[in-house]
Structure 1
Amino acid sequence: MDLPVIWFGTAVLAWVLFFVLEGFDFGVGFLGPLLGRTDAERGAAVRTVGPVWDGNEVWLVAAIGVMFAAFPDWYAALLSGLYLPMVAVLLLLAVRGVALEFRGKHDSASWHARCDAFLASSSLLLAATWGAVLGVLVEGLALGADGEVHAGSGALGGLTRSLEPMVSPWAVLGGLAGVLLAAVHGATFLSLRTTGVLRARSRRLAVASAPALATCAVAVFVAGGHPAVAAAAVLLAVAALAAWRRAEAVAFAASSAAVAVAVVAVFTAHLPVLLPSTLAAAGDVTLRGAAASEGALELISVVGVVVLPGVVAYQLWSYWVFRRRVASGHEPVRARAPRPAPARAGR
């Protein structure tokens, strides 16, 4: 049994689940004020992710935990090299969580508007930051042969070590792709989970934006991208077609698959190298070189067999419980006809 390969696959699976599930969370977060014209419509958008957003974040903990336990050198290089962006991600996740939880604590349109503004801005920045991080994974970090990330000679001094990779060409492209993917994914999710005008607007946005993103993916593939990028472009085209035909479940499944394929393409772009060095090949973090000892991998395998299936089962159950559509707020409520009173028996 090749435990390093198995645990690498587990880490990639955890990252895929995080980006697929949180991808539509981020999209709904910044699309809500755009698609919702009234407070009721914006509230309906928030309620589609309200019961599940915190469960979706569990997969970030799982992904980071697997990297720490199974590939400590990979974990150390990536998180130390991107220390400040990761701190920003944690702060933005906290802001988003507070906005989601506190929105319903006060029944005021102005209060709701402020919470929606914080939710939209934090969600947009999260999508962009995570996309940039994935771009850094493709391009690599300035890793030396000693495994340390070397600082550049920028005006920010030591801060350049964490911030310089986030403005590289691949990081900028990844940030833009992250926002666009979250928008398409969030639109297909809203069209699946809402009714009325919010559903119609979400579907139109998916039809309009998915082909544009698919065209960009094709351009990246032609320029020398991973073959999986072409598959993601096809899936985005399928999502647009399905949304146009009002097959919301198919559209959401296609956008989910597009996100999953894109994430897999990023993590497998340089195999057996997990994180390439932009300085020299001697600094590359490899699958075998970064793996923990055989004993450690066997120990976490026992824990993983017990914990991970339980997490998956619980999350599937929660999505099943909250599977019904959310009314957009403009649909009239039909009053039920009163039931006839039972006839009283005569004396």
Structure 2
Amino acid sequence: MELYDVWFVLIAVLWVGYFFLEGFDFGVGILTKVLARDRKERRVLINTIGPVWDGNEVWLLTAGGATFAAFPEWYATLFSGFYLPLLMILICLIIRGVAFEYRHKRSEERWQTNWEHAIFWTSLLPAFLWGVAFANITRGVKIDRDFEYVGNFWDLLNPYALLGGLVTLSLFTFHGTVFTALKTVGDIRVRARKLALGLGLVAAVLALGFLIWTQGEKGDGKSLVAMIVAVLALVGALGAVKIGREGWSFALSGVTIAAAVAMLFLTLFPNVMPSSLDPAWNLTVTNASSSPYTLKIMTWLAAVATPVVLLYQSWTYWVFRKRIGTQHIAADAH
């Protein structure tokens, strides 16, 4: 296996990690307007992800940085062609971070309500747009002989991509609902489990349709295995949440997301960004990669830094592992 193949796999792993971790905190952000009944319950939801949401975003920064360094041609075509949707995601992530930090700075109801609206919308939009983006990458977009995107924004809003957006939105919301049931106590936990069953069924229908469509157009034996794993894991997650085993349900919903993302990358390889105009203009792991020397240096750096980051983030989740409820929320100090 060449180094550019290794880095394709590593970038796929980074995206799996990002969607697994950021997926549930996007879902929790959406639940602040769907599950929570009052301000105290919204505080409970926000507190479940408060210690970890910013660490989860590190996976996105690392995936973007790795793509830039290992596959600069892919990075250039992707970020120029998908400029508007990626800019929308970036703006949402900026506002979302500010909302988490500023919401509790003042006790006025209007102040907190506005920031809560911001948390909801800046969780929902990226959850949808990431699916749209990856569906387009997988299926192929209008790339010319110079490896430049020659389509427009509306070309990205095709039926396949919109279905992909609904799949990530529903899966992330389900993932977040199961995480809420795992991290809370009391009535909010019970309601989260009930909501997870309904959301899981919706996600299962959408995901099955999207994965079958993907397999039919681009799939092979390896991607079929990943699809079967994703479907079985989602069914298992629904069964686990029904019997009150939130830990198993959360793990299996994470496996669903991981297997679905893996399937997309398996159908993509050895391309990194196919051209819908001419297969000869596809961006591949070979024509889009950096020099062997650059990839070698990156591999050594990743081997040293990655274990440290994983240990630190694992420790963070361990420290903040306890369940919380409305009884743990103190009154406003203002």
Counterparts of 1:224 and 1:31, CA distance in 2: 29
Amino acid paired to 2:57: E
* Matched residue SS, 2:268: coil
Compute the displacement of 1:229 (Å).
2.9
Write out aligned runs for 1:224-263 (5 A): 225=215, 226=219, 227=224, 228-263=226-261
The answer on whether the counterparts of 1:221 and 1:230 sit within 8 Å (CA) in structure 2 is: no
Compute the displacement of 1:217 (Å).
2.8
Compute the displacement of 1:76 (Å).
1.2
CA change 1:223–1:62 in 2 (3 A) is closer
Q: Does 1:203 align with 2:193?
A: yes
Amino acid paired to 1:78: L
Amino acid paired to 2:323: R
The answer on whether the counterparts of 2:170 and 2:202 sit within 8 Å (CA) in structure 1 is: no
Counterparts of 2:176 and 2:281, CA distance in 1: 38
Write out aligned runs for 1:279-290 (5 A): 279-290=277-288
Q: 2:173 aligns with which of 175, 180, 183?
A: 183
Compute the displacement of 1:231 (Å).
2.5
How many residue pairs end up in the alignment? 322
**1:168 maps to what in 2?**
158
Counterparts of 1:128 and 1:146, CA distance in 2: 30
Counterparts of 2:128 and 2:206, CA distance in 1: 16
**1:307 maps to what in 2?**
305
Counterparts of 1:315 and 1:221, CA distance in 2: 31
Compute the displacement of 1:267 (Å).
1.8
**2:22 maps to what in 1?**
22
Percent identity between matched residues is: 38
Counterparts of 1:217 and 1:124, CA distance in 2: 17
* Matched residue SS, 1:61: helix
Amino acid paired to 2:173: A
The answer on whether the counterparts of 1:273 and 1:287 sit within 8 Å (CA) in structure 2 is: yes
Compute the displacement of 1:222 (Å).
4.3
Q: Does 1:32 align with 2:25?
A: no
Amino acid paired to 1:232: A
Counterparts of 2:120 and 2:109, CA distance in 1: 16
Compute the displacement of 1:218 (Å).
2.9
The answer on whether the counterparts of 1:77 and 1:147 sit within 8 Å (CA) in structure 2 is: yes
Normalized against structure 1, the TM-score is what?
A: 0.89
**2:332 maps to what in 1?**
none
Counterparts of 1:101 and 1:10, CA distance in 2: 32
Identify, as 1 or 2, the structure richer in helix: 2
Counterparts of 1:229 and 1:147, CA distance in 2: 30
**2:293 maps to what in 1?**
295
RMSD: 1.8
The answer on whether the counterparts of 1:48 and 1:190 sit within 8 Å (CA) in structure 2 is: yes
Q: Does 1:91 align with 2:97?
A: no
Compute the displacement of 1:146 (Å).
1.2
The answer on whether the counterparts of 1:207 and 1:240 sit within 8 Å (CA) in structure 2 is: yes
Max Rg structure: 1
**2:182 maps to what in 1?**
192
Compute the displacement of 1:329 (Å).
4.2
| Range with bigger deviation, 138-147 or 22-31 | 138-147
* Matched residue SS, 2:312: helix
For residues 127-164 of structure 1, what are the alpha-carbon distances to aligned partners after superposition, in whole Å with 9 as ceiling and x for unaligned? 1111111111122121111111114xxxxxxxx3xx12
Compute the displacement of 1:259 (Å).
0.8
For residues 93-129 of structure 1, what are the alpha-carbon distances to aligned partners after superposition, in whole Å with 9 as ceiling and x for unaligned? 0111111111221233333222111100111111111
Counterparts of 2:88 and 2:114, CA distance in 1: 21
Counterparts of 1:53 and 1:323, CA distance in 2: 14
For residues 65-118 of structure 1, what are the alpha-carbon distances to aligned partners after superposition, in whole Å with 9 as ceiling and x for unaligned? 111111111111111110111111110001111111112212333332221111
Q: 1:319 aligns with which of 317, 320, 329?
A: 317
Compute the displacement of 1:330 (Å).
9.1
Counterparts of 1:131 and 1:284, CA distance in 2: 21
**1:62 maps to what in 2?**
62
Amino acid paired to 1:317: W
Write out aligned runs for 1:37-116 (5 A): 37-116=37-116
**2:126 maps to what in 1?**
126
Counterparts of 1:165 and 1:138, CA distance in 2: 14
* Matched residue SS, 1:258: helix
Counterparts of 1:303 and 1:218, CA distance in 2: 39
**2:208 maps to what in 1?**
218
| Range with bigger deviation, 212-221 or 17-26 | 212-221
**1:157 maps to what in 2?**
none
The answer on whether the counterparts of 2:131 and 2:164 sit within 8 Å (CA) in structure 1 is: yes
**1:156 maps to what in 2?**
none
